[in-house]
Chains A and B, each alone.
Chain A
């Protein structure tokens, strides 16, 4: 039963067994040909179907077949040739073992750990919004992006951090490219974090506003987490599994209870306006950041992990069994016109920033260079843990895309267009959808809301409600029938809100630590993590920062998701650019110029996407896309004393002008910070290439591994340059 504690008697005999290389057997050729055929069939159906509805099964086949091929061949190539992983080399988990932070962990357990740390609500939101361009572009980007970009980034960052005893991305940037680039990277990460938290919190606000059921069940997660915290501390210390099971049971009760509340006289107490929800979330974020971890953060984390694994498994079963038909078009006209109501701009570059998590997410670089590298048993496991976890997240994104495309397009646009376009009633929404070229009757809109027991579905942007409707459709087809639709809808809302609130807790705390670290350089006491006033001040600053953007987004007359989501996507992808630039530099510094393309190609692509998108957001003369163009349009109208669409009074006009100015300036700062990192990396690369001797490495020196992992010694055994 013991996992990771490897008895010291299991040392390999001196000299060790001869290194074995995997052989190509007829059986493996047959198996991989079959896998390739499955993937190819899926892609062929996706590519060849025109104007006909196809089953989601083809999409799953294309995804799973491609993942398998990517994992088996590309990730192995990277591990062997590019990184030269070496299982005779002791990992930091082995060398520095202290039983707590560093200890060799079973790879299956570490896979679960790492996956739970990288995956949250991100991959569930982006693909839903991107369904505006049809299912095909999103699918291609999610699958190709992860195989050649996202999973590669995660794996290489994990490897480099592991070779440096688990250093963070920021530390590696400072060590490898210098102080300026390192500082720019650090400030960039902090700023990006703030936007991320604001946008995710906005998704929760849009999902809960005016919904008694949702608000009640999500609010209940706080007392449930507190109960778990006290239970774990005073009644049954350390019994996490038992506590989590009780927590999950209570959570399901809270969902059922929400339905009961909705029908009772208590309902009005739980119908909150978006503004009220903003203040609740901000207050919650602050309290969660200053409370001891055992009270709220840790139990919520357990709950979130259990729900994550459970729901994702449920989703996979649901999609596979129900095999729903995709109602969306494969490619909509918004892909080329760029006039979509959900987010503005054409396919390139805006699709690629709307779907970040699931294809290429810079934030993973922070997780891959934190806890995980300190727990790896054997170097070759970076493949399963870095590349494999990211493929799994990508699969979650594919399922979210399917859930969104199962909806009738008319309903999709009625839910996701900004309120300014849709107007206040189902009738106006129906007209607006007609104007977009789709159709849904007011009765159908009312019926759809009634089926999930919500007051309305019109203008419920942000992705979460859309995903929840799609999932309720899929789940109700498998478990429980139409009568269960409302339960499944609120189940989906609940777990998405749970993931996001976990991110809000953890993210605020991470932001607080970063800020304490940065401010600590200026004024020592504030850097101390045990000084209470320092904790309060920095927590308030972090919460205030994301709270500002959240409030601005929620009250934005033009729709906060439409305005802020591009900023979030660009920010996340810019972080990926930083991570990929650092890894490419590190490959070149290690004398591996011939393999630098492995992280260089995703880097070039990512820089092209983010800088084009950022450039358009700043300089585009089209007021629908460019922040400043829109600002000028509304500012001129104010001067002329006119009201423009979206604004109902002059205050709205001023809000739009202010928001656009702030968003545009933030965008410019992001691009500038990343540009500094890129230039700095380029300088270091040139220096490395010109130097006659290799630049000094920051890698920890080679120490021979003394542990032996049995299952590691089959055909997968990887032996690098040293043996």
Chain B
């Protein structure tokens, strides 16, 4: 049971990392470190900010 849980945990971790879902957690940690007094943006605010950025960059995809 424990092994199955651990394996599922790894798969979820990998999926979260691969899709960039984990990005927000990292961003918050970094934000707290660098600007300890400024409020951390909410997930919604962060996601909006990211899509605006993505709007201006060329997607790297191939055949």
Interface residues of A (CB under 8 A from B): 1, 3-5, 99-100, 103, 105-106, 108-109, 112-113, 116-122, 196, 200, 232-233, 237-241, 244, 292-294, 297-298, 301-302, 305, 357, 361, 363-364, 366-367, 370-372, 502-503, 505-507, 509-510, 513-514, 529-530, 572
Q: Looking at the complex, which one of A112, A293, A371 makes contact with B18 (CB distance below 8 Å)? A: A112
- Which residues of chain B from 7 to 50 have a CB within 8 Å of any chain A CB? 9, 12-24, 26-27, 29-30, 43-44, 46-47, 50
A503 and B19 form a contact (CB under 8 A): no
A106 to B10, CA, bound (A): 13
A225 to B15, CA, bound (A): 19
Chain A CB within 8 A of B4 CB: no
Q: Which residues of A contact B14 (CB under 8 A)?
A: 108-109, 112
Q: Which residues of A contact B1 (CB under 8 A)?
A: none
A97 to B9, CA, bound (A): 27
Given contacts A1-B13, A196-B63, A238-B21, contact A99 B26 (CB under 8 A): yes
B47 and A121 form a contact (CB under 8 A): no
B50, B55, B63: most-surrounded residue (chain A CB, <10 A)? B63
B12 and A507 form a contact (CB under 8 A): no
B63 and A510 form a contact (CB under 8 A): no
Residue in chain B with minimal CB distance to A109? B17
Given contacts A99-B27, A100-B27, A298-B51, contact A244 B62 (CB under 8 A): no
Residue in chain A with minimal CB distance to B53? A100
Q: Which residues of A contact B47 (CB under 8 A)?
A: 232-233, 237-238
A109 to B20, CA, bound (A): 10
Taking the closest CB of chain B, its distance from the CB of A87, in whole angstroms, is 22
B13, B15, B24, B43: most-surrounded residue (chain A CB, <10 A)? B15
A99 to B22, CA, bound (A): 11
Q: Looking at the complex, which one of A118, A121, A506 makes contact with B59 (CB distance below 8 Å)? A: A506
**Inter-chain residue pair count (beta carbon < 8 A):** 115
Q: Which residues of B contact A4 (CB under 8 A)?
A: 26
B13 and A241 form a contact (CB under 8 A): no
Q: Which residues of A contact B27 (CB under 8 A)?
A: 99-100
Q: Looking at the complex, which one of B16, B29, B56, B61 makes contact with A503 (CB distance below 8 Å)? A: B61
B63 and A200 form a contact (CB under 8 A): yes
Given contacts A109-B14, A238-B24, A293-B54, contact A502 B62 (CB under 8 A): no
Q: Looking at the complex, which one of A200, A239, A293, A513 makes contact with B51 (CB distance below 8 Å)? A: A293
A120 and B61 form a contact (CB under 8 A): yes
Given contacts A100-B27, A233-B47, contact A241 B59 (CB under 8 A): no
Taking the closest CB of chain A, its distance from the CB of B27, in whole angstroms, is 5
A292 to B16, CA, bound (A): 23
Residue in chain A with minimal CB distance to B58? A513
List 26 interface pairs A-B (beta carbons < 8 Å), by A numbering.
A1-B13, A3-B13, A3-B22, A4-B26, A5-B26, A99-B30, A100-B23, A106-B17, A108-B14, A109-B14, A109-B17, A113-B18, A119-B62, A233-B51, A237-B44, A237-B46, A237-B47, A238-B24, A240-B20, A241-B16, A364-B62, A367-B61, A370-B60, A503-B63, A507-B61, A509-B58
B63 and A529 form a contact (CB under 8 A): no
Q: Which residues of B contact A503 (CB under 8 A)?
A: 61-63
B60 and A529 form a contact (CB under 8 A): no
Q: Which residues of B contact A572 (CB under 8 A)?
A: 63
Taking the closest CB of chain A, its distance from the CB of B26, in whole angstroms, is 6
A100, A120, A367: most-surrounded residue (chain B CB, <10 A)? A100
A292 and B51 form a contact (CB under 8 A): yes
A117 to B63, CA, bound (A): 9
A72 to B61, CA, bound (A): 28
| Closest 8 pairs between A and B when the two form their complex, measured CB to CB | A122-B63, A506-B61, A240-B19, A370-B60, A513-B58, A240-B21, A109-B17, A506-B59
B30 and A117 form a contact (CB under 8 A): no
Given contact pairs A112-B14, A505-B59, A529-B55, a sample of 6 additional A-B residue pairs in the complex whose CB atoms are under 8 Å apart: A4-B26, A109-B14, A117-B60, A232-B47, A370-B58, A507-B61
Residue in chain A with minimal CB distance to B42? A237
B21 and A239 form a contact (CB under 8 A): yes
Taking the closest CB of chain A, its distance from the CB of B33, in whole angstroms, is 10
Taking the closest CB of chain B, its distance from the CB of A201, in whole angstroms, is 12
Q: Which residues of B contact A233 (CB under 8 A)?
A: 47, 51
Q: Looking at the complex, which one of A99, A507, A510, A529 makes contact with B56 (CB distance below 8 Å)? A: A529
Taking the closest CB of chain A, its distance from the CB of B56, in whole angstroms, is 5
Q: Which residues of A contact B24 (CB under 8 A)?
A: 238
Taking the closest CB of chain B, its distance from the CB of A372, in whole angstroms, is 8
Given contacts A106-B17, A109-B18, contact A294 B62 (CB under 8 A): no
Q: Which residues of B contact A367 (CB under 8 A)?
A: 60-62
Residue in chain B with minimal CB distance to A242? B21
Q: Which residues of A contact B23 (CB under 8 A)?
A: 100
Q: Which residues of A contact B22 (CB under 8 A)?
A: 3
B56 and A298 form a contact (CB under 8 A): no
Taking the closest CB of chain B, its distance from the CB of A361, in whole angstroms, is 7
A285 to B17, CA, bound (A): 29
Taking the closest CB of chain B, its distance from the CB of A305, in whole angstroms, is 7
B61 and A241 form a contact (CB under 8 A): no
B60 and A371 form a contact (CB under 8 A): yes
A121 and B17 form a contact (CB under 8 A): no
Residue in chain B with minimal CB distance to A393? B62
A297 and B59 form a contact (CB under 8 A): yes
B63 and A363 form a contact (CB under 8 A): yes
Given contacts A109-B18, A293-B55, contact A120 B62 (CB under 8 A): yes
B60 and A366 form a contact (CB under 8 A): yes
Q: Which residues of B contact A357 (CB under 8 A)?
A: 63
Taking the closest CB of chain A, its distance from the CB of B15, in whole angstroms, is 5
Q: Which residues of B contact A505 (CB under 8 A)?
A: 59
A212 to B21, CA, bound (A): 36
A388 to B61, CA, bound (A): 18
